[in-house]
Structure 1
């Protein structure tokens, strides 16, 4: 993109931050939060590309892709993302930053909200409720709402400040930063893929040792010694190819994976 004069104000970034509450409203198994993400930033996109309807359409389509992060951390991502658009940075550089922040901030946000604030406040207000304080359940609800809103506002402000300062001071190195972010993003997604994709080869065979003792050898054990998690990685690459190159839908992929999983498990090839 060509350099452009920024048009977004602090009020626009605040509006996008508050709209992050709508992130999950468009959740689906094709793009996860992709539809919601576009809805959150769309007013800001309309302002940036006010007189460029074709670019607005192009950038809207770019942001309806798969996305999945913690809703409370989202304002940090959207603020940086929009700051790059607003300053005319390349769309691929902005996308790399957006995708790289997805995984790490999802983990941080989940830890803070679900394993930090929720257990802490539930313990406090549960104790108060057991002591007979009728306001305790409402107190827990209000405390969580205020805490999470504070996090959203803080993340939105930090993303805006960091995004604008980075662009103004490192504008010539945005490409390098984007490449580094791309590497981080790919590393995180690769780690998630081999962790959550479960597939093992169930084929075994018996062999007789020199001592005359019979030993059962597992193909999966041999593969793990050559390259751990080889099968999950292959499945992930095949699925990615079907989606990226052949434009398969989520439902078509699920039907294929269900059929292969059931069929290969029935014949003992997979376990």
Structure 2
């Protein structure tokens, strides 16, 4: 009983210290209180990160997408890297920001981020690298897994199953997951080594890399707006007997996808004013339904 009580007291004290750190940590701080690079992570640490990445989408939501699973993936390594509770809380807060990446090649990004965390790079630099890489990794993952490897494995398994072989679905799972897990763990170690190899460059060119990553990230966001935000109007402009389509005759000639861009900027401005993503989703639904009913959209 005495041993259990001692364990409970230690756990309570640790929890209290963490709560105090979360309350006092400076959210606007861009660097860590302890800027001394941490000890390198072990192979077991990287493998543990890769295993935990399987839960990347366990808490998927439309506010922060995969942020909860992303932080769950990194927590053991972050605890080993950041000894000061304030640094750990600032790092955790940053990694709870929006993230959306392919779940199979996410470990490459995790490895790079952990190498940067180990070197105590600035939070803005780590954030910029995350934003710059999550879009390209999503496209590569979709092309490699969903559009290539999955149809190949499914075709082989289905052909055997149609012939009455019970080995068909088993072979499908074996083939698909051989590449899946091979890349998941291989990319984790490769990403970490790549990050370590680039630390000198990061240290001497932090501002340039952060600026370049920000440019790439903004380009990705711009492409996502044009691809995923669909907004058009059927309104017409009447000038005597002439009728001009407002969308194709005016807006598209000024700038293609002008309405999606404007709506995105409106949502961004409302978010900056304190509107929660859940409220913005509700407003978007109401705006879409009303716009359709009155003939504006």
TM-score by length of 2: 0.84
SS at match of 2:104: coil
Paired residues of 2:107 and 2:191 also in contact (CA < 8 A): yes
Quote the Cα distance in structure 2 between the aligned partners of 1:90 and 1:124: 48
Paired residues of 2:251 and 2:258 also in contact (CA < 8 A): yes
Counterpart of 2:56?
Answer: 23
Q: Once the 2 structures are TM-superposed, how far is the Cα of residue 176 of structure 1 from its aligned partner?
A: 1.1
SS at match of 2:205: helix
Counterpart of 2:134?
Answer: 102
| 2:223 maps to 1:191 | yes
Paired residues of 1:7 and 1:47 also in contact (CA < 8 A): no
Counterpart of 1:179?
Answer: 211
Structure 1 residues 5, 47: CA separation in 2 closer, same or farther (over 3 Å shift)?
Answer: closer
SS at match of 1:217: strand
| 2:87 maps to 1:55 | yes
Greater shift, 72-81 or 153-162, is seen at: 153-162
Q: Once the 2 structures are TM-superposed, how far is the Cα of residue 229 of structure 1 from its aligned partner?
A: 0.9
Counterpart of 1:215?
Answer: 242
Counterpart of 2:68?
Answer: 35
Q: Once the 2 structures are TM-superposed, how far is the Cα of residue 169 of structure 1 from its aligned partner?
A: 4.4
Greater shift, 142-151 or 73-82, is seen at: 142-151
Paired residues of 1:69 and 1:103 also in contact (CA < 8 A): yes
Counterpart of 2:9?
Answer: none
Long gaps (5+) in structure 2: 1-30
TM-score by length of 1: 0.92
Counterpart of 1:69?
Answer: 101
Quote the Cα distance in structure 1 between the aligned partners of 2:135 and 2:159: 35
Counterpart of 1:233?
Answer: 261
SS at match of 1:26: coil
Counterpart of 2:284?
Answer: 257
Quote the Cα distance in structure 2 between the aligned partners of 1:260 and 1:9: 51
1:124-203 equivalences in 2 (<5 Å):
124-203=156-235
Structure 1 stretches of at least 4 aligned residues deviating more than 6 Å after TM superposition = none
Q: Once the 2 structures are TM-superposed, how far is the Cα of residue 262 of structure 1 from its aligned partner?
A: 1.7
Q: Once the 2 structures are TM-superposed, how far is the Cα of residue 20 of structure 1 from its aligned partner?
A: 0.8
Deviations 1:75-103 (A, max 9, x none): 10011001001011111101111111100
Quote the Cα distance in structure 2 between the aligned partners of 1:263 and 1:129: 50
Paired residues of 2:38 and 2:119 also in contact (CA < 8 A): yes
Q: Once the 2 structures are TM-superposed, how far is the Cα of residue 37 of structure 1 from its aligned partner?
A: 0.5
Quote the Cα distance in structure 2 between the aligned partners of 1:144 and 1:46: 33
